[in-house]
Amino acid sequence: MAASDGRSGGPDGRPKSDVRPKSAGRGRRPGRGRGQDQGQGQQVRDVAHRVLRQVAKEGAFATLALGAALKSSGLDARDRALVTELCYGSLRQQMRLDRALAALTPRGLGKLDAATLSILRVAAYEILFLERVPAHASVNSAVRAARRLGGQRFAGFANGVLRTLAREGEPALPPESEPRAHLAIAWSTPGWILDALSEMVPAAELSEAVAAFNQPAPLTLRAHGVSVEALAERLRALHPQGGFSLSPLAPQALLAEGLGDPELSQAFAEGQFAVQDLGAQLAAHLLAPAAGARVLDACAGVGGKSAHLAALVGPEGRVDAADRSAGKLRLCAEGAARLGADNVHTAALDLASDDAVAWAQAGLAEAYDAVLLDAPCSGMGVLRRHPEAKLRLQPGDVGEMAALQARLLDAVSARVRPGGVLVYSVCTFTRAEGPAQIAAFLDRRDEFALEAPPSPAESGVDWAAAGLTSEAAGAGAGTIRTWPHRHGADGFFLARLRRRA
């Protein structure tokens, strides 16, 4: 996904630079002219239609569907960026787009299939939010796609709906004096998710927070095996069109703009960096394992944090990356090999199990100096990267995730040696999966206690100066929160706990 400057949006759900009254016309950015509308412009939209159809009909993850589609598309970098914007923009604003389309469709959208809706949504997104091409080009492209899909009758339907939308615009948003209703429509965010967010941020920040969760996430790299300054210098030489700046939050973090696909960089192939959000990087720094320590990365997934921990413990240490998914662990092993993290060892296991035999058979230790539990969660903190989650999550999912997290905490905490450290991490902002989860755990396991973040000398992070202390984050003593609107990071909740010796 293209890098972002992290700006929050205006009150109507458009980026601030695009906000303009209806009398001034649709918010369109200057870009390709009409010559792009036929041929290649149609291919761009066709790829976006296909990706959105897979997301809606097959339940595909947008990142995976988009990545596969772009890889086989043959499109240049500029067109790939436009496909990305059309896909992610349409998903971020799907509720608002559907509201606008439904207002122009007498029978509503309920009987339209995923392919039809994908065509209409992409065109509506262009009409309402982009300046790339004139409105008639967006309409004409959708009509051509509709004709291929359903013949002239459907083409006529699409033409009528979209031309009316281009002429009349969308229905008025609820007034800002009704903040919940206004934000729900402006940012296509279900009310119950807004309610969960409003529990965790001050009312004065709610609008900014919602906007930030609906902007593209910045591209953040983690220097590996080289200093972050050396990585920045190397990338500037390899990619003079890019912009690279050090982050004040994490010592090895580098913010990248204009890099393109980071995995195509020679520096990536040479193992000099990993792609990793600031919040994810802070989890390893909060654990702060000593050199030579033995560490368990529980629910390691594809191993982004495993490789980071491996760098922190050094060659004399060991990181056991455990997950129930063998497929994810294969990617973990491949990533560790690329980065030269030879001290990462993978283990396939259901970590919620307290079966000592199963743990031993997986090659895991009875006790660890430090354990990181990056638990499965509702994922609301990464909506910037996975906007389709807004459309799939249900209120009951939070309770199910919290129950699983509790089982995992009980299982992996038993593997922390006396005097050792446990860090609990989730990329979400709900109370049930964060503060309430830790409070309940401490009630069950009185041999653990919350502990303040390690010192800057120990962790490499000045938590207070970065506004990451529990008091600054409003997260409760001994815990950390990161926010897109405050820190430019994904929304993480982190807690550091010490087992009494």
Q: Is 323 annotated as a binding residue?
A: yes
Q: Is 397 annotated as a binding residue?
A: no
Q: How many residues are listed for the chain in this entry?
A: 501
Q: For residue 339, how far is the Cα from the chain centroid?
A: 23
Residue 299 annotated among the catalytic residues of the structure? no
Out of 87, 299, 377, 427, pick the active-site residue. Answer: 427
**65, two tokens:** 């569907």
State the pairing for strand pair 368-374/294-298.
Answer: parallel
**74, burial (CB in 10 Å: exposed 0-12, middle 13-18, buried 19+):** exposed
Cross-strand pairs, 223: 273
Quote the CA–CA distance of 316 and 314 in Å, as a whole number: 6
Start-to-end CA span in the chain (Å): 46
368 Cβ partners below 8 Å, 6+ apart? Answer: 294, 295, 296, 320, 415, 416, 417, 420
Quote the CA–CA distance of 76 and 81 in Å, as a whole number: 9
Q: CA angle, corner 408, sides to 403 and 413, nearest 5?
A: 130
Distances (CA, A) of 353 to 86, 398, 410, 414: 42, 21, 9, 11
Q: CA angle, corner 149, sides to 145 and 151, nearest 5?
A: 100
**148, two tokens:** 């291929």
Quote the CA–CA distance of 313 and 225 in Å, as a whole number: 13
Taking a C-beta distance cutoff of 8 angstroms, is the pair 202, 473 a contact? Answer: no
Place of tokens 């191993």: 303
**205, two tokens:** 């920040």
Q: What is the DSSP letter of 22?
A: G
User: For residue 418, which phi and psi values (nearest 5 degrees)?
Assistant: -55, 130
User: For residue 388, which phi and psi values (nearest 5 degrees)?
Assistant: -65, -20
Binding site, annotated residues: 323, 350, 374
- Annotated binding site for S-adenosyl-L-methionine, which residues? 323, 350, 374
List residues with catalytic annotation. Answer: 427
